[in-house]
Chain A
Amino acid sequence: MTETLDELARGLAGVLPPGAVITDPVRLRTYECDGLTHHRAVPGIVVLPESAEQIAAVVRLCNEYGVPFVARGAGTGLSGGALPRADGVLVVTAKMRRILQVDLADRRAVVEPGVTNLAITEAVREHGYYYAPDPSSQQVCTIGGNVAENSGGAHCLKYGFTVNHVLALEIVTPDGDIVTLDADDPGYDLLGAFVGSEGTLGITTKVTVRLSRAPETVTTLLAAFGSIEQGGQAVSAIIGAGVVPAAIEMMDALAIAAAEAAVACGYPAGAGAVLIVELDGPAAEVAHQFAEVERICRDNGAFELRTAAGPQERAAVWKGRRSAFAAVGRISPAYIVQDGVVPRTALPDVLASIDRLSAEYGIRVANVFHAGDGNLHPLVLFDDAEPGAEERAGLVSGRILDLCVEHGGSITGEHGVGVDKSRYMPKMFTDDDLDTMQLVRCAFDPRGLSNPGKVFPTPRLCGEVPGVRRGVHPLVESGRAEQF
């Protein structure tokens, strides 16, 4: 440990409870990566604060020593957003997991950042409410991490992302102030800008979330198609018919085979693609939509349709889909999980191009995706024992992102940019676009201490603001206006 970190660690021990400052190398190593395990860095110091005030004290000390800091929830992120800094402090919110308030009359809950996504739903389920965003890691991922990444989930097609369900945030700014960002505040929507900023604008210390009424009816349909093209046409037809399902998920033959090997999900044999369509809402509405979706699937060549009646059957239908990422481990020694988005109508083109890439490089790609919103999760499979295979897989993975951008899509739909994709940002944005985003960064974090090296491709210095008025505003001075 450097002398600076040594001194900082002593300072941190003075503002945190006993045992909340970790400097033991063995224990530090357990925090060296998040869900994206090929990026690793052992943090300089780990702290386990228990309150916003303690986080603010940590951040102020970091400022004093000019040391960068990174916030971490459960470490389930898939873009290296919580990758620690060897020269910095990792602020772990694991001890801040209280649900502070559940207010059904106001349809909201106030929680600490370390509360898991699913814990919110579990706290209100018996009253007929739930928290809508449902990332697949929802049993373990924290709401603080969800805020940083603007997490979505399978049901965001109808219900939106974290940003649509957060009503207020208490944050510690990168210079150590505790500030509340409220959706009801007039002026700039700083709350909206903060959500999804991947920890680069400060640390979330309290989250007010919207609670949603559990729908009257949920119906889940599994449709098996001979080919992915047929499945894709069915998706377009469903959307074109004016149906907005809660979720539309698709898996191709390779992904189905993997899921079958891993969890024996029992999807129809011989399927080139399966589609999971979930409809929810008022019973009368769902009944109409269900009939329509069923007809469309048959018209587009579905050879088998299954309907999940109750929660258990629904869980069975979802089992294969939910296990897909881990399942490819059964059919491939190593793999890359990609996350890209294309306009829904471009899905057939892009999938065909991915097929060509796969053949060209001799790399298998299993496709799992949120078809309703064009969010692809290609699983690029390779054998890490085979020389050159990892490089080729990396190339295929990168080329898939190129395809997404060429078709007017995005390099990430829900996993975030983190360290993993910062180099792809210039493919999607011009220097002017990125410089403009940097203005926001500089407003919040002029010293660049909050999760530096993430999101943006090249670190930039903020510099002083030119021409800013210091002191009293002339209109105030002349008595013609008051500042409030």
Chain B
Amino acid sequence: MATPQETGPDAPQETGARARHGAGARDALSATGVTVRDAGPGDAVAGVMPRWVALPESTEEVAALMRVSAGHDLAVVPAGGGTRLHWGTPPERCDLLIDTCCLNEILEHASGDLVVRVQAGVTMDALAEALAAQNQELALDVPLAGSTVGGTLATAAAGPRRLRYGTARDLLIGLTVVLADGTVARSGGKVVKNVAGYDLGKLFTGSYGTLGIITEAVFRLHPIPRARHWVTAVLPSAPPAALSAGPSTSPGAVAAALAASQAEPSAVELDWLAPAGTFTVSALVEGVAAESRAGAVRDLLAGAAEAVPDVTGGGEAPGWWGVTPGEDVLLELRVPPSGVDGALRAIAARGLPARVRGSLASAVLQIALPPESAGTEPTELAKLPEIPEIPQLAEVAEVAAFVSGLRGDVAPLGGRLTVLTAPPELARLVDLWGPVGALPLMRRVKERFDPDRRMSPGRMAGGI
């Protein structure tokens, strides 16, 4: 068992005992027949360098690797596209990175049943492309290009259309996992309607690799809508006071009206540069009659907007649509829908330049500090103001104060704030996850699934 001194980003040296075991473990890993290489600088997990990287091609190969890992007490972290490997808390230790890139087969697309079975390393983009050939889609928006199926599930990532279709947990109908001891377990199946046994898929969604390794998933699919229209409007800029003064034009009020609208938008998104920028709100309408329904949405938005809302069809989303607002410090704010305006006021009152973007009607918003354009082209509607300098370390304390302050502000609204990713300096100053009521139960689940704490130890809330 590792002692604390050997773990962590700034103490990579090994004890004599572990070094002695190292060669044996490496040989045993190679003996599985799976490609294993030494880790390089690009393989770090939230700053922690693994010793080796394995590239399995099947569930059975993952199981073989896990059995060896169990025998040699290796800590294992699974990785997909690496788009969120720096998210979460750094692992306490990491010997083996299991790169799922070669688990890249779409195993079965039963288009008549609107179901797909896919290996965990398939990228969401590749999956979308294959499904589109049959005019179907997995109605789960992916904020980061290159994300894999496994990584999307493990981080419970979702995008704008969560309003209409739910998130990964709502679309996942079957899962295959490999546990810490090499056990292969399946739950769910290939049919949408199924209540046989516990739904392990739910448990693994958002598990950050701490329960086991996702190797296969089965999703329910949707037909690709025949038309998509976006309606985008700029609401008056809002110093904190104005938000409370003019409630009918506030983002929260507009979102509530859109959510209740019989035009049934699939998504209602916000883009805002705090503290004083204008609010850009965009709604997506999907379906055969999308054009006429978009007209209804435009009329609804016109009452609140500064200018006539813009309607775009033919797949033309605003440039910022579904794009993560930043990479350096990224927070996620969840609040009951009626608390959105209060939360936005609280963000503005904190004074920091923060880019706020996300699902307004579902009241799940991402906040990036410092704001950056995140690869988007400013559109006519959403001109991005000057991007401030990236804060230096001296400003980390300020960011920490923002996080803990805002967390306190939104708590009375029923809201919660999670730090998705942050530099290690910030992670030392604030709890990334915030209070989690069910933490004792989560710990008990972890203890049963991974009693030796070898699966991504410490990556999740509460040191799980």
Q: Please state if B200 and A440 are interface contacts (CB–CB under 8 Å).
A: yes
Q: For chain A, residues 367 to 422, give those with C-beta under 8 angstroms from any C-beta of chain B.
A: 370, 373-375, 408-417, 421
- Asked if A184 is an interface residue, CB under 8 A from chain B, the answer is yes
- Asked if A107 is an interface residue, CB under 8 A from chain B, the answer is yes
Chain A residues positioned under 8 Å from B439 (CB to CB)? 187
Chain A residues positioned under 8 Å from B193 (CB to CB)? 152, 156, 161, 341, 370, 373-375, 410, 413-414
CB proximity of A66 to chain B, nearest CB, Å = 20
Chain A residue with minimal CB distance to B191?
A341
Q: Please state if A417 and B441 are interface contacts (CB–CB under 8 Å).
A: no
CA distance in complex: A231, B222 (Å): 22
Q: Please state if B445 and A188 are interface contacts (CB–CB under 8 Å).
A: yes
CB proximity of B343 to chain A, nearest CB, Å = 13
Q: Please state if B441 and A443 are interface contacts (CB–CB under 8 Å).
A: yes
Q: Please state if B338 and A106 are interface contacts (CB–CB under 8 Å).
A: yes
- Asked if B240 is an interface residue, CB under 8 A from chain A, the answer is no
CB proximity of B255 to chain A, nearest CB, Å = 11
- Asked if A458 is an interface residue, CB under 8 A from chain B, the answer is no
Q: Please state if B113 and A344 are interface contacts (CB–CB under 8 Å).
A: yes
Interface centre among A189, A414, A432 (most CB of B within 10 A): A189
Q: For chain B, residues 338 to 375, give those with C-beta under 8 angstroms from any C-beta of chain A.
A: 338
Q: Which of A55-63, A175-183, A355-363 contacts B (4 or more CB under 8 A)?
A: A175-183
Q: Please state if B203 and A193 are interface contacts (CB–CB under 8 Å).
A: yes
CA distance in complex: A197, B191 (Å): 18
CA distance in complex: A149, B193 (Å): 12
CA distance in complex: A287, B433 (Å): 47
- Asked if A27 is an interface residue, CB under 8 A from chain B, the answer is no
Q: Please state if A342 and B191 are interface contacts (CB–CB under 8 Å).
A: yes
Chain A residues positioned under 8 Å from B289 (CB to CB)? 282, 284-285, 287-288
CB proximity of A215 to chain B, nearest CB, Å = 8
Number of chain B residues close to chain A: CB under 8 A:
90
CA distance in complex: A375, B192 (Å): 9
CA distance in complex: A473, B92 (Å): 11
Chain B residues positioned under 8 Å from A417 (CB to CB)? 195-197
- Asked if A318 is an interface residue, CB under 8 A from chain B, the answer is no
Q: Please state if B436 and A410 are interface contacts (CB–CB under 8 Å).
A: no
CA distance in complex: A229, B51 (Å): 59
Q: For chain B, residues 430 to 464, give those with C-beta under 8 angstroms from any C-beta of chain A.
A: 431, 433-442, 444-445, 447-449, 451-453, 458, 460-464
Contact with B along A127-158 (1 / 0, CB 8 A): 01000000000000000000001101000100
Q: Please state if A433 and B461 are interface contacts (CB–CB under 8 Å).
A: no
**A187-B436 contact, Cβ under 8 Å, with A436-B200, A443-B448, A468-B451:** yes
Q: For chain A, residues 209 to 251, give those with C-beta under 8 angstroms from any C-beta of chain B.
A: 213, 215-216, 236, 239-240, 242-244
- Asked if A19 is an interface residue, CB under 8 A from chain B, the answer is no
Q: Which of B118-126, B260-268, B303-311 contacts A (4 or more CB under 8 A)?
A: B260-268
- Asked if A455 is an interface residue, CB under 8 A from chain B, the answer is yes
Q: Please state if A239 and B114 are interface contacts (CB–CB under 8 Å).
A: yes
Q: Please state if A408 and B190 are interface contacts (CB–CB under 8 Å).
A: yes
- Asked if A429 is an interface residue, CB under 8 A from chain B, the answer is yes
- Asked if B100 is an interface residue, CB under 8 A from chain A, the answer is no
Chain B residue with minimal CB distance to A152?
B193
Chain A residues positioned under 8 Å from B263 (CB to CB)? 282
Number of chain A residues close to chain B: CB under 8 A:
103
- Asked if A448 is an interface residue, CB under 8 A from chain B, the answer is no
Interface centre among A242, A415, A439 (most CB of B within 10 A): A439
- Asked if A10 is an interface residue, CB under 8 A from chain B, the answer is no
Chain B residues positioned under 8 Å from A38 (CB to CB)? none
- Asked if A351 is an interface residue, CB under 8 A from chain B, the answer is no
- Asked if A86 is an interface residue, CB under 8 A from chain B, the answer is no
Q: Please state if B445 and A440 are interface contacts (CB–CB under 8 Å).
A: yes
Q: For chain B, residues 191 to 245, give those with C-beta under 8 angstroms from any C-beta of chain A.
A: 191-208, 211, 222-224, 226
- Asked if B385 is an interface residue, CB under 8 A from chain A, the answer is no
**A282-B448 contact, Cβ under 8 Å, with A188-B203, A193-B199:** no
Q: Which of A41-49, A259-267, A330-338, A474-482 contacts B (4 or more CB under 8 A)?
A: A474-482
Contact with A along B161-181 (1 / 0, CB 8 A): 000001001100000010100
CA distance in complex: A156, B195 (Å): 13
Q: Which of B1-9, B27-35, B318-326, B388-396 contacts A (4 or more CB under 8 A)?
A: B1-9
Chain A residue with minimal CB distance to B155?
A186
Q: Please state if B462 and A213 are interface contacts (CB–CB under 8 Å).
A: no
CB proximity of A33 to chain B, nearest CB, Å = 20
Q: Please state if A428 and B445 are interface contacts (CB–CB under 8 Å).
A: no
Chain A residues positioned under 8 Å from B206 (CB to CB)? 186-189
CA distance in complex: A341, B434 (Å): 41
Q: Choose among A177, A179, A432, A455 the residue that contacts B185 (Cβ–Cβ < 8 A).
A: A432
- Asked if A450 is an interface residue, CB under 8 A from chain B, the answer is no
**A474-B4 contact, Cβ under 8 Å, with A408-B190, A414-B195, A465-B447:** yes
Chain B residues positioned under 8 Å from A408 (CB to CB)? 189-191
**A179-B4 contact, Cβ under 8 Å, with A184-B416, A192-B203, A343-B113:** no
Q: Please state if A341 and B169 are interface contacts (CB–CB under 8 Å).
A: no
CA distance in complex: A152, B440 (Å): 30
Q: Please state if A179 and B200 are interface contacts (CB–CB under 8 Å).
A: no
CA distance in complex: A435, B179 (Å): 11
Chain B residues positioned under 8 Å from A465 (CB to CB)? 447-448, 451
Q: Please state if A429 and B113 are interface contacts (CB–CB under 8 Å).
A: no
CA distance in complex: A106, B337 (Å): 5
Q: Please state if A180 and B185 are interface contacts (CB–CB under 8 Å).
A: no
Q: Choose among A177, A191, A410, A439 the residue that contacts B194 (Cβ–Cβ < 8 A).
A: A410
- B residues in contact (CB < 8 Å) with A: 3-5, 7-8, 92, 110, 112-115, 135, 156, 166, 169-170, 177, 179, 183-187, 189-208, 211, 222-224, 226, 256, 259-260, 262-264, 287-289, 292-293, 334, 336-338, 416, 418, 431, 433-442, 444-445, 447-449, 451-453, 458, 460-464
Given contacts A197-B198, A467-B452, 5 further A-B contacts (CB under 8 A): A163-B170, A190-B442, A240-B112, A409-B191, A414-B193
